[in-house]
Amino acid sequence: MTSEIHRDAGAKKLPEVHVSEEYSWRWMWPVVILGLGLRLAQYATGRSLWLDEALLALNIIHRPIGGLFKTLDYHQGAPLGFLLLEKLATKLAGNGEFALRAFPFVFGILGLFFFSRVAKLYVAPKAMPVALSLFAFCASLIYYSSEAKQYSGDVAVTILALWLVARLAAAELSGKGLIRLSILGALCLWVSHPAAFVLSGAGLALLLFAVRAGDWRRFGRLVSVCGIWALSFSLNYAVSLKALGSDQALFDFWREYFPSQPLWSLRTIVFLFQRFFSVFDDPANLISVVGAVLFVIGCIELARKRTVHFWLLSGPLMVALLAGFLHKYPLGGRFFLFALAILFLVIGEGAASLADMSGRLSRAVQIGLFIVLLMKPISMDARALIHPRRPDDIKLAILYIQTHQQPADAWYVYHWARYQFWYYSDLYRINPRTVRLGVDCGADQACYAADLDQLRGQPRVWVLFSHMWVGDGYQEEDFFLDHLDHLGVRVATYKSTGARAYLYDLSRHDLSRPAGDELEK
């Protein structure tokens, strides 16, 4: 054991912050309950699966369990453990949105409870209210707790892994406890891809501290634990990660989240600077400058007073950064959601430290920082309660068509809507013989026009849009509608968030007739 750990931990343990019951109830439970309520409200909206969710859902629903071990269709990737949990949900509760989002919702709830407990192991008592409140009210964490993707699982498993490495640092390594920690870490790697960053970064830090202390007995036992984790990761890599890492389409899509070559160029430095500040805006939902400054102060404070804690928290971020340099993991957006638990712990420590440095104004500074940090998250939460986020809400447009269609009506599905449509066509039993799927012509407008021309002469055609492509001043929906208006008469329009349903009579051409009734939802 190093002298560093002795200074930090006394009797060979990391310092555990013992929070009084009064403190816990005053700050923790009301915040946790509000956070639970916000997550439940988001889950209860029952919004449509948007494009990314539908792409993953089609793999889960249409493949047998054994098929989930193979490369997924539609350039999708998710941890195998998460895929198996999702398959279990569909077996138990059907293929609806609530079933597919059940485990992400459970992960969101568990993450909140885990964080309220694990934070005590890493930050000072004064940092707890800020850290926990940021986690509970973060709009990104709330939203992704009810999305049929793996990201809320990444957050929950990251927090669990932080508890695991804290236990490794604080406990005597022997017997059943050592085996349990080894197995638990190995399982984490199958449920969350970023778990590899946490376990490798923090595990390496613990190994280095053991070497520095000359505690070779502890070092040997840590090697055995890390060896089991490495073996689990290697198997996981062979089964699923290798194929995912070689998907060029995914790399091209997330290209802007990878640093350019060479890594020592000015362009790369600018990229890292921009990425650093942007992560506090998305996904952390904070005022970027405020979050960044408090994060730096928190890092300095942890490095000065709790060196082991600092490396356990910073190690995973450094490994993630290395993966970004190697173009193996995007640096930002929803892929960095897992890091929010670490960011909020460090920001909480920074806010507490800055308040302590303010002397007699400490209380006022603490309250002021609390308000400034939570102002943006709470305003976003309030807007989400009034107007829930519903991207690509295609099912409302589909239900409108089904309510108003006649037996001989035809459907035309915009090419980017096809994946959501395939998902909902099973749920709503849409007759495939009445449906024509639009072709994907890229930027070739003549190709799109020729595809639409094949609808000529049909008296009732429902045109369904979702996830409409917009770029370089060109909107595909506008082009499609202009051409359809030239071919025939628009009879009715229905609009939901991110989706449209239009009824056209293409058996006649009447420019003098106004468009039909328009309904918006």
Look up residue 515 and give its two tokens: 């468009």
Cβ neighbors of 116 (< 8 A, separation 6 or more) are: 28, 32, 132
How do residues 406-416 score in pLDDT, each as one tens digit? Answer: 999 999 999 99
Phi-psi region of 389 (alpha: psi -120 to 50; beta: other; left: phi over 0): beta
State the CB neighbour count (10 A cutoff) for residue 291: 25
How do residues 100-127 score in pLDDT, each as one tens digit? Answer: 999 999 999 999 999 999 999 999 999 9
How do residues 418-444 score in pLDDT, each as one tens digit? Answer: 999 999 999 999 999 999 999 999 889
Q: Low-confidence residues of the chain, pLDDT below 70?
A: 1-26, 171, 473, 509-521
Domain ranges of the chain: 3-386, 394-520
Buried b / exposed e along 332-362 (16+ C-beta atoms within 10 A) = bbbbbbbbbbbbbbbbbbbbbbbbeeeeeee
Integer Cα distance of 306 and 13 in angstroms: 12
Q: Which fold has domain 394-520?
A: Rossmann fold (3.40.50)
Q: How many alpha carbons lie under 13 Å from residue 131 in its C-beta half-sphere?
A: 30
Look up residue 501 and give its two tokens: 């349903």
What pLDDT does 177 receive?
Answer: 85
- Side by side, the strands of the sheet bearing 435-437 are 435-437, 410-413, 461-466, 499-505, 489-496, 517-520
Pairing mode of beta strands 517-520, 461-466: unpaired
Strand partners, 499: 466, 496
What pLDDT does 90 receive?
Answer: 97
What pLDDT does 4 receive?
Answer: 39
